[in-house]
């Protein structure tokens, strides 16, 4: 019984972990590498295993850095099932198709450049059509039910509270009469976050594989966050500017809209025109409403199955390019939520081009920004930024509001691990070096527990004692 980390080791994106038990092989996640300049080349590299020999994929949630290479895996010969929560399957149905469309669009743009230079064309990683075809291999799994997916592998999904359908994955492995249990955190949600329930606690494991995105910091309280956003809104209103919020289409966009509903009067959101400028986010919002049974009690009562626009009367969905372009005529009084969340593409880049040089406007960053992305440059205080081949002065005020994060902060990660009996060995993945080293040291100091920061290709034999230094 062996676990090998083949993704999200030493960085955040590209989640992928190989489990071998007896004659069977399964993957935990199969995500796209995102953010860095080398991401495209890394995604094109062959898998470090034979896809045809993978028997199943177990998917923690729908975000593309966890699911985005599944169509590529299928194209390379994988013919097994993809086990995912029912809501994850519904979200992947729109997200992977959208990712395929983006791959086609990017390849087409690159090939125009190559034709001018007499260079050979490139192929997209996969197409929207291939992504749609791959959905036939998805199998829906509910929360809290054990399922034998292979003769030597049993899984159970627990609510991770990160996005709709996100899972903590429990995996029981059997080999040679021996049984071991692995627990994979997936992405753990921010306790007390709007809409979703808090992450489920698990008590037993022989090995824990845990994310560490915010292992070096905690988030502000929801009350402090509300005060901070209220101050930004007041300042922007007085300056007669706009508020731009780069947001991931799934999870963050819905949380922001619902949070505005909750604070509609108190924070003065009724004075603003709110635009959800993302066709994918609009479709995802409808999927959220269709799965209201997964909401926390407050969200079930307030939102339920009702259309979001009925709860937020000043909300406008902009589906078409022409509708999006019309927002550029608005100089003040607009809150614009658009993708991509790291400002690497999508409609937010057009809005930045229109607003980032204006001192009246504000940009609120609410999600993780990978190194090398335009979003990370803004967070790190860049004075200038390149958009569409032009250089723009950054005069807009940039705010990082971790309190609106969908990820658990440092203390929440520690508390989640603390619930395991017996301090099982802990492997940290899905984090940058500083975050992981900080969290590792805290786990050692506080719990005297064996903890290891995963490097690409690290393998752990679950049938033997894990030789970590405590």
Q: How far is CA 163 from the centre of its chain?
A: 8
- For CATH 3.40.50.10890, list the domain ranges present in the chain: 222-404
Closest CA to 234 of 374, 329, 362: 362
Query: What string of H, E and C letters represents the secondary structure of 69-101?
Result: CHHHHHHCCCCCEEEEEHHHHHHHHHHHHHHHH
* Predicted local distance difference test score (pLDDT) of residue 467: 67
* Predicted local distance difference test score (pLDDT) of residue 470: 45
Q: In sequence order, which ranges of 16-69 are alpha helices (DSSP H)?
A: 39-44, 64-67
Count CB-CB contacts under 10 A for residue 19: 23
* Predicted local distance difference test score (pLDDT) of residue 198: 96
Query: Residue 410: which H helix or E strand, with range?
Result: helix 410-418
Low-confidence ranges of the chain (pLDDT < 50): 470
* Predicted local distance difference test score (pLDDT) of residue 415: 97
Q: Are strands 17-21 and 24-28 parallel, antiparallel or unpaired?
A: antiparallel
Fold of 2-217+406-461: Metallo-beta-lactamase; Chain A (3.60.15)
How is residue 127 annotated by DSSP?
A: -
Closest CA to 228 of 340, 366, 394: 366
* Predicted local distance difference test score (pLDDT) of residue 372: 82
- In this structure, what token pair is assigned to residue 114? 């190559």
- For CATH 3.60.15.10, list the domain ranges present in the chain: 2-217+406-461
* Predicted local distance difference test score (pLDDT) of residue 377: 94
Per the CB < 8 A criterion, the answer to whether 149 and 138 are in contact is no
The torsion region of residue 47 among left (phi > 0), alpha (psi -120 to 50) and beta comes to: beta
Quick check: helix, strand or coil at residue 298?
Answer: helix
Quick check: helix, strand or coil at residue 432?
Answer: coil
Rounded CA separation 38/36 (Å): 5
How is residue 427 annotated by DSSP?
A: E
Which tens digits make up the pLDDT trace of 222-246?
888 888 888 999 999 999 999 999 9
Count CB-CB contacts under 10 A for residue 77: 12
Residue partners of 69: CB distance under 8 A and separation at least 6: 14, 16, 30, 31, 32, 43, 125
* Predicted local distance difference test score (pLDDT) of residue 339: 87
* Predicted local distance difference test score (pLDDT) of residue 469: 56
Fold of 222-404: Rossmann fold (3.40.50)
Query: Residue 465: which H helix or E strand, with range?
Result: none
Rounded CA separation 372/109 (Å): 21
Give, to the nearest 10 degrees, the angle between helix 86-117 and helix 279-290. 170
């Amino acid at each position: 019984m062996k676990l090998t980390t083949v993704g999200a080791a030493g960085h955040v994106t590209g989640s992928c972990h190989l489990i071998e038990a007896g004659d069977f092989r399964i993957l935990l996640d199969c995500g796209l590498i995102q953010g860095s300049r080398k991401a495209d080349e890394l995604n094109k590299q062959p898998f470090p295993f034979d896809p045809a020999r993978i028997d199943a994929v177990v998917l923690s949630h729908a975000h593309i850095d966890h699911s985005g290479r599944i169509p590529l895996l299928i194209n390379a010969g994988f013919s097994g099932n993809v086990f995912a929560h029912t809501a994850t399957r519904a979200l992947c149905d729109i997200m992977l198709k959208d990712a395929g469309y983006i791959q086609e669009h990017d390849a087409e743009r690159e090939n125009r450049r190559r034709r001018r230079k007499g260079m050979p064309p490139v192929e997209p990683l996969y197409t929207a059509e291939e992504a749609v075809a791959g959905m036939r291999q998805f199998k829906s799994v509910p929360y809290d039910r054990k399922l034998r997916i292979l003769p030597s592998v049993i899984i159970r999904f627990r609510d991770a509270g990160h996005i709709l359908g996100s899972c903590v994955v429990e995996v029981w492995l059997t080999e040679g009469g021996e049984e071991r249990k692995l627990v994979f955190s997936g992405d753990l949600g921010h306790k007390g976050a709007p809409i979703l329930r808090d992450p489920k606690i698990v008590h037993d494991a022989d090995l824990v594989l845990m994310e560490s995105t915010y292992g070096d910091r905690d988030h502000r309280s929801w009350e402090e966050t509300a005060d901070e956003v209220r101050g930004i809104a007041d300042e922007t209103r007085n300056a007669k500017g706009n508020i731009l919020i780069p947001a991931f289409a799934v999870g963050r966009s819905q949380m922001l809209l619902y949070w505005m509903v909750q604070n509609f009067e108190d924070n003065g959101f009724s004075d603003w025109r709110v635009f959800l400028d993302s066709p994918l986010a609009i479709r995802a919002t409808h999927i959220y409403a269709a799965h209201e049974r997964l909401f926390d009690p407050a969200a079930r009562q307030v939102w339920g199955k009702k259309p979001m626009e009925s709860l937020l009367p000043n909300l406008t969905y902009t589906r078409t390019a022409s509708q999006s372009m019309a927002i550029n005529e608005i100089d003040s009084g607009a809150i614009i939520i658009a993708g991509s969340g790291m400002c690497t593409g999508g409609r937010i880049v057009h809005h930045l081009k229109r607003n980032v040089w204006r001192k009246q406007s504000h940009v609120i960053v609410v999600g993780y920004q990978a190194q090398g992305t335009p979003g990370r440059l803004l967070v790190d205080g860049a004075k200038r930024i390149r958009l569409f081949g032009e250089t723009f002065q950054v005069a807009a005020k940039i705010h990082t509001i971790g309190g609106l994060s969908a990820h658990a902060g440092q203390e929440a990660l520690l508390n989640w691990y603390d619930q395991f009996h017996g301090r099982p060995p802990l492997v940290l993945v899905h984090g940058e070096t500083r975050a992981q080293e900080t969290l590792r040291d805290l786990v050692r100091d506080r719990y005297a527990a064996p903890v290891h920061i995963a490097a690409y290709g690290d393998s752990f034999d679950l049938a033997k004692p894990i030789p970590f230094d405590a």
